[in-house]
Structure 1
């Protein structure tokens, strides 16, 4: 039953899409660009539902047959492009699900809308196939390409689309969403807000995790005793995180929050603004032992490890490099 009023912190994108509906100037192709879990698919679904709503307003009524179909993922003219290969969207996926299908007129709606999630996974051949449709789209065709990296798309694709970039959501808005909409207690909300870094979906992911306290506890335990552990023990502890259905890069973000606390305390000697303020004894000890440069090197190595993992560099090797750096500094 979600509508535009349920979109938090993306005012420019919301205004652009509602204005397009209001003026009837809906583009035949949009790229929604933003990091993982930032809410691209949520917004795309609301936009698609509103375009197909039988009442024809700038927000979906939620009551008509089309809206009910959209809410249950059964609207025949809202097509989600799927792909069998996990890491690539191939030329056949695009030809069969977009190009050939778009030649058939809508079943019951004013538009035929295609949502291509993980657009950055389209092969060059797939993108070239899509280009043919983008060059001469039927009046009823609307493409929504969702991507975490617009630069992975061919310039010829990008130039034919309206590019909408997701903006980081302000911390106070994320906190309000967690505490009011999800009833998350403030101590937990503060960690989730720091973890999210402006990404409301990531905050929601951590806040709704049944294993939140376990993950946080394991991260803190690791950081407390890292100096006494062997590298192999540390890597094994990190692998265990997969049991909690949390992505390892998200776990590394929790470690980053800890080291940002250490840096902040070293600079200010004030515990009031720390995320992990209940661990002040250990944070003070770390701050006393480490140099500013050492903390910066660790924070930098955590970011590098995330980049390596997203580029599919060997997990064990990446972790060993990271924790050697952490132990050395």
Structure 2
């Protein structure tokens, strides 16, 4: 692959081609944008363009350097990644980076260090990295990838050039999924909307058959007896594996809560449609094939109740990033939904 193969990031490609050709590169970058949008892949392609023996400003994909970078075997490209089942990048990971930063390149003119998920460095790791950024080493490039800039310290941000990756349009994701998967059209259309502009997430969702899981979740929510407070326990047993790490449970629960969020968002859209049908353009639904069922449910809730439920779900998703008991979070959100739903029934 080369720069030309990237989807919907033309502004970034143009910038780096020009910077490489003119030798006007920054010593440190932050690649930011949602998960699965191609930040780490672009970091690899940047490295190939920098090290390529046959091309300048892009990669040839066939020279020795390009092949080794693709295979993660080039001695002057260093990846710092989150350890499996760990929540944070720790200081030892950054100290290891510092050690290699001080050394000369093994066989090339440059060294490149790529810190994946840099927004998950703990405070000690951040302080350690700051010292490295404050004293840049010649011919050394440090790239941080981050879903969000907010967790990254301002002192680190100010010492890096920030590169913002944009979400990939739904129709482009849909076209890519059609090329890769032999899947049902409705499934591909739903995934292309649900992935929120992330091709990486879309591919993962299709591989995990998440469309079927969404249908199961929506069926349970829409047919839920709101007096059944055992639903939270059934939910945990069904979707959260007992052998999963805490971080794996968090990520699974985020996706499931987003399914529930989109269900109530659809209810809200149907409610608004019914009120403003003559004056407003039809708003698209995530669960478009369920519109008839949504129409049957929408009269049980006021617009204010739906908005309150949406807010409660968003708050629960936010709380997942804290060190809170996941089972209690699940029990709390379903209790809140049950109370709000049953108030109108």
- Please confirm whether the aligned pair reaches a TM-score higher than 0.5, indicating the same fold: yes
CA offsets, 1:98-124, max 9 Å, x none? 111122221222311111112122233
Work out the number of aligned pairs and report it. 326
CA, structure 1 residues 90+105, in 2 after alignment: closer, same or farther (shift >3 Å)?
same
State the alpha-carbon separation in 2 of the partners of residues 200 and 112 from structure 1: 29
State the alpha-carbon separation in 2 of the partners of residues 260 and 219 from structure 1: 15
CA, structure 1 residues 234+282, in 2 after alignment: closer, same or farther (shift >3 Å)?
farther
State the alpha-carbon separation in 2 of the partners of residues 122 and 176 from structure 1: 35
2:98 is equivalent to residue 87 of structure 1 = no
Provide the residue aligned with 2:286 in structure 1.
275
Q: For the Cα contact (< 8 Å) 2:82–2:116, is it kept in 1?
A: no
Q: Aligned match of 1:212 in 189, 210, 213?
A: 210
State the shift of 1:142 in Å. 0.5
State the alpha-carbon separation in 1 of the partners of residues 146 and 252 from structure 2: 19
TM-score of the superposed pair, with normalisation by structure 1:
0.89
2:179 is equivalent to residue 187 of structure 1 = no
Flag structure 1 segments of 5+ consecutive residues without an equivalent.
none
Q: For the Cα contact (< 8 Å) 1:33–1:164, is it kept in 2?
A: yes
Equivalent runs, 1:316-327 vs 2, <5 Å: 316-327=327-338
Root mean square deviation of aligned Cα: 2.5
Q: Aligned match of 1:227 in 225, 228, 232?
A: 225
State the alpha-carbon separation in 1 of the partners of residues 110 and 184 from structure 2: 43
Q: SS at 1:286's partner residue?
A: helix
Provide the residue aligned with 1:202 in structure 2.
201
State the alpha-carbon separation in 1 of the partners of residues 55 and 164 from structure 2: 26
CA, structure 1 residues 109+229, in 2 after alignment: closer, same or farther (shift >3 Å)?
farther
Flag structure 2 segments of 5+ consecutive residues without an equivalent.
none
CA, structure 1 residues 248+213, in 2 after alignment: closer, same or farther (shift >3 Å)?
same
CA, structure 1 residues 295+161, in 2 after alignment: closer, same or farther (shift >3 Å)?
same
CA, structure 1 residues 259+82, in 2 after alignment: closer, same or farther (shift >3 Å)?
closer
2:312 is equivalent to residue 301 of structure 1 = yes
TM-score of the superposed pair, with normalisation by structure 2:
0.85
CA offsets, 1:120-139, max 9 Å, x none? 22233322322232223222
Provide the residue aligned with 2:256 in structure 1.
251
Provide the residue aligned with 1:57 in structure 2.
56
Provide the residue aligned with 1:313 in structure 2.
324
State the shift of 1:148 in Å. 2.5
CA, structure 1 residues 150+318, in 2 after alignment: closer, same or farther (shift >3 Å)?
same
Q: For the Cα contact (< 8 Å) 1:171–1:193, is it kept in 2?
A: yes
CA offsets, 1:262-311, max 9 Å, x none? 22222225899433233233211111222111211122222111111122
